Amino acid sequence: MTDKYAVIGNPIAHSKSPQIHKMFRDQTGEDISYEAILAPPDGFASVVERLRKEGYKGCNVTVPFKFEASNIVSDISKESLDAFDAGHKADAVNTLVFRDEKIIGHNTDGIGLVRDITNNLHFEIAGKRVLLMGAGGAAYGVLHPLLDKQPKELVIANRTLEKAVQFKKTVEQTTQFLTTSISVSDYPALSGKQFDLIINATSSGLSGEMPPLPPGIFAPGALAYDMMYGRETPFMAFARAHGAAAVSDGLGMLVEQAAESFFIWRGVRPETRPVIAALQQQ
Ligand code: NDP
């Protein structure tokens, strides 16, 4: 029998996840279906409950429900917290597994980002100076996998500084052996600094804006990575004009996080490169 999966979000019509998982299905021969489901702003938990009752095996969670998803998991099954990995540490969950009476949560966004940067873009994070812009769900989700790669320095910059300060506290409370120096900054204070990797985890590109970065911020050989995909963002254009050696959008991350979800659900790891290439053609 076909195993059912879905992605829940609001809005959801734009999501490429159904297309990606269908490509994984065709490639691996796994007998699955995958659909996009729109949940009302206050209706996430009831949609999850419905899917569980209808026998779905799991789902992905996207904006704006990633934080709420972590509450659902702990509410429904405390035991499954033991099975929690980066998802719980990050308090933003994008993958749910429905197993018996339990809901197990994971966050595959960070693994997706790190795989795209290291495997697809061939950029080594260890020992590098990293600037992470943003302190929302996306930034939380990627933090621990990023730190696992042991950058030398991580600066978290956010328009609302208090959120970055809170973010740093959370990281320090949930990480045991920190080898990276972590600090927070507002944008003006970045003046005169240089980074090897700058990750835009803000939603500024959605409104055609970018965080106010000073010129000269890209160190020689720097990679500029925007988690947004589907269009050239102002941050990407700025990076090209101000000396970044490489510039990438977040399409590879999207496919890599989907592949990790697929692996968690099916135990089979799909090939990501042909899927990234197919999406880049569109
Ligand atoms: P949130 O709404 O949780 O957070 C938004 C963040 O962006 C906040 O830190 C906010 O700052 C900042 N921000 C918004 N507008 C501006 C601006 N004009 N200038 C500076 N900072 C700004 O969103 P998410 O964290 O969930 O998502 C962020 C982005 O990451 C989205 O574009 C999303 O599409 C992308 N993403 C991509 C994924 C992929 O697979 N490629 C996976 C997950 C996310 P403040 O706190 O001051 O409001």
Quick: pLDDT tens for 204-230: 998 999 999 999 999 999 999 999 998
Closest protein CA for atom 29 of ligand 1: 203
pLDDT category at 78 given cuts 50, 70, 90 is very low
234-259 pLDDT, tens per residue? 999 999 999 999 999 999 999 999 99
Residue corresponding to tokens 């095996």: 57
Q: Is the CB of 252 under 6 A from ligand 1?
A: no
pLDDT digits (tens, 9 = 90+) for 124-176: 999 999 999 999 888 988 988 999 999 999 999 999 999 999 989 988 887 77
Q: Which of 66, 89, 128, 168 is catalytic?
A: 66
Instruction: Supply φ then ψ for residue 206, to 5 degrees.
Output: -60, -35
Three-state secondary structure call for residue 252: helix
> Is pLDDT at 89 greater than 80 in this prediction?
no
Q: Which of 110, 76, 77 is nearest to 93 (CA)?
A: 110
Give 224 Cα–ligand 1 centroid separation in angstroms. 16
CB 186 within 8 A of CB 161: yes
Give the pLDDT of residue 86. 42
Checking 245-250 for CB contacts under 8 A at 24+ apart, the result is 245/218, 245/220, 245/221, 246/121, 246/123, 246/222, 247/223, 248/116, 248/121, 248/223, 248/224, 250/113, 250/116, 250/225, 250/226
Domains and CATH numbers, the chain: 3-107+255-280 (3.40.50.10860), 111-249 (3.40.50.720)
Q: Within a 10 A sphere around the Cβ of 4, how many other Cβ atoms?
A: 17
How far, in Å, from the CA of 97 to the mean position of ligand 1?
25
Rounded to the nearest integer, the mean pLDDT of the chain is: 92
- Atom 34 of ligand 1, residue of closest alpha carbon: 228
Range in 23-32, 97-106, 127-136, 270-279 the model is least confident about: 97-106
